[in-house]
Structure 1
Amino acid sequence: MGRLMKLRNLIDLLKDKASLIKATLSIKSVAGSITVAILRATTHDSSGPPSEKHVAAVLALGNGSRLTASLCIEAIMDRLHDTQRASVAIKCLLTIHSIIASGSFILQDQLSFYPSSGGRNFLNLSTFRDDSGVDMWELSSWVRWYAGFLEQNLMVSKVLGHYWCSSPRVNNKKDKEDKVLAFSTSDLSRELDALVDIAEQIGEAPDSLHLQRNALVYEVVRMVGEDYRLVQSEILLRVSELGNRAENMSYDELTRVVNALKRFEDCKERLSLLFANRKRNEGLWELIGETKMKLLMMIGKMEEMRLVMVRMGRRDDRGSESTRFRNLFAQSGKLLGSDLVLVHGWA
């Protein structure tokens, strides 16, 4: 088994060399230089993630024309979908993640519209399997999860209207706070739902957490951990503002926010396990708990008022029926009295 694995690794290494030589021969063309950059960042070597130098070379392709950026994204996707090796797939996804986090706008823009038809599963890795060995089989589950996370990442960016996990220079905290204040309660609730969706996706990480000893998986968890920290920040802004608006929210709005907060709380244990060595944001969880209780109290008051109104309505209905009956009885008595007068000749 060990010899077979070594043979496969050798074959993969030769494939990388051959592909690089082929691309280098056409280095004068734009497509050739793009291919070289992608191949160097996504080799079959499973000992570690792409080097910063090679990732930077890919990101630099976004500083050119829109055509170059488009060809870059297309080349990454071709590499991702053509490979059967988990290590290559992970490196492609790490490169895509770097584009989302640090790439130029033009590169991010091309990524967000790939493919042109869109769709939830545009990375198309939900059935990815590398059966070359036990380790690669387990690593495949991380490929599927990571792809799902990146898909969710882009979907949330579309909901929020910006790349929420981009570098701080792109997304100023003060600007975010001002936007949150200007949003309607409905918009804030919708965005909170989307952010909780991605927290749930993060919490669905594979059970094989021991694979974090693998350098590739470690880098994946590190980058996702950075995004999770930003997710917490985005959730904090919205929960704080929604809590301030509690008294002016409708029953449906209150219920929607409470459900989102409950879903987020349900992720806490799993997220804490995944990011065990990272600082816990206890302040956020306290705010979540306090806000949820506040909203539940508002819901309780509304339900009590609704119950009182229903009871009053029934009482009014019974009162109206009694009044109508008494009036009818009185009218009947008058008519009956008139009839008696006529029968007995009384005037």
Structure 2
Amino acid sequence: VALKTLIVIHRALREGDPTFREELLNFSQRARILQLSNFKDDSSPIGDLLVSLSFAYVSSAWDCSAWVRTYALFLEERLECFRILKYDIEAERLPRPDQGQDKGYSRTRELDSEELLTQLPALQQLLHRLIGCRPEGAAIGNYVIQYALALVLKESFKIYCAINDGIINLVDKFFEMPRHEAVNALDVYKRAGQQANSLSDFYEVCKGLELARNFQFPVLREPPQSFLATMEEYIREAPRVVSVPTEPL
């Protein structure tokens, strides 16, 4: 029941009226309605089962309960990301491509430095929660979990696209940033590389499932590690901002 309820909420966030998302966000600020950190599946009696079957059931229930908890964390982070970005990354409509472009791009491609350093960490945290939805053990074969996982998988494509376009924008602006912004930008750049590897592993698991048979997975591009040395050198040489007291002596 808990998982099916989360799926209904997820579909309403994706496909429903925007006012539902607004109301859910407002309510979640007063109470963590998606907080399922203590959730476990006690739906089936164990006492009537043989010991060997009991162990198998407990193991299966544990795997499925763990996945439900991570799914709830993803949905909670999805709301938080919307609060920061002020738009829904899944509902975003990419602009029509100009001549010579083979696809549209995310609005992160056109943000200024301050907006980038606010939105990219939020998107990366959302992707972190998404990658955490990788099923394990008995959860892999659970039909309802696979249905929910398909929704999560679909969202990963736009989230990755938004982060990737944001990183391209960040690199373009990096050498114009003051030192304190450049330090934060370097952390974002490093995390993008780490997450590209983790997302690749997540996709490999999903590709082996029936749910992903008709999905077109994006080509993952890890930000060049060779650029890190140049970024670090810029930070070392950039002048530190010295605060000047404004109060009269």
TM-score relative to the length of structure 1:
0.54
SS at match of 2:27: coil
Structure with the higher helix share, 1 or 2: 1
Alpha-carbon spacing, 1:294–1:246, altered in 2? closer, same or farther (3 Å): farther
8 Å CA contact 1:185–1:242 kept in 2: the answer is yes
Match of 1:130 in 2: 41
Q: Does 1:244 align with 2:157?
A: no
Match of 1:92 in 2: 5
8 Å CA contact 1:125–1:144 kept in 2: the answer is yes
State the superposition RMSD in angstroms.
Answer: 2.7
Q: Does 1:264 align with 2:192?
A: yes
Say which of 107, 120, 124 aligns to 1:192.
Answer: 120
1:112-151 aligned within 5 A: 112-115=25-28, 117=30, 121-131=32-42, 132=44, 133-134=57-58, 135-151=60-76
Say which of 106, 111, 124 aligns to 1:183.
Answer: 111
8 Å CA contact 1:93–1:147 kept in 2: the answer is yes
Alpha-carbon spacing, 1:116–1:107, altered in 2? closer, same or farther (3 Å): same
CA distance in 1, matches of 2:163, 2:106: 15
Cα drift, residue 198 of structure 1: 1.1
Alpha-carbon spacing, 1:91–1:265, altered in 2? closer, same or farther (3 Å): same
TM-score relative to the length of structure 2:
0.73
Cα drift, residue 271 of structure 1: 2.5
Match of 1:106 in 2: 19
Cα drift, residue 149 of structure 1: 0.2
CA distance in 1, matches of 2:140, 2:157: 19
Match of 1:300 in 2: 233
1:193-342 aligned within 5 A: 193-205=121-133, 208=136, 211-276=139-204, 277=207, 280-282=217-219, 284-286=220-222, 288-289=223-224, 293-294=226-227, 296-304=229-237
Identical residues among aligned pairs (%): 22
Deviations 1:317-337 (A, max 9, x none): xxxxxxxxxxxxxxxxxxxxx
Which ranges in structure 1 are unaligned for 5 or more consecutive residues?
A: 1-87, 307-347
CA distance in 2, matches of 1:268, 1:238: 14
Relative contact order (C-alpha < 8 Å, sep 6+): which is higher? 2
Cα drift, residue 107 of structure 1: 1.9
For the pair shown, which has the larger CA radius of gyration, 1 or 2?
1
Residue identity matched to 1:256 = N
SS at match of 2:88: coil
1:57-96 aligned within 5 A: 88-96=1-9
SS at match of 1:248: coil
Alpha-carbon spacing, 1:189–1:293, altered in 2? closer, same or farther (3 Å): farther
Alpha-carbon spacing, 1:228–1:247, altered in 2? closer, same or farther (3 Å): same
Cα drift, residue 272 of structure 1: 2.3
SS at match of 2:95: helix
CA distance in 1, matches of 2:174, 2:21: 36
Q: Does 1:156 align with 2:81?
A: yes
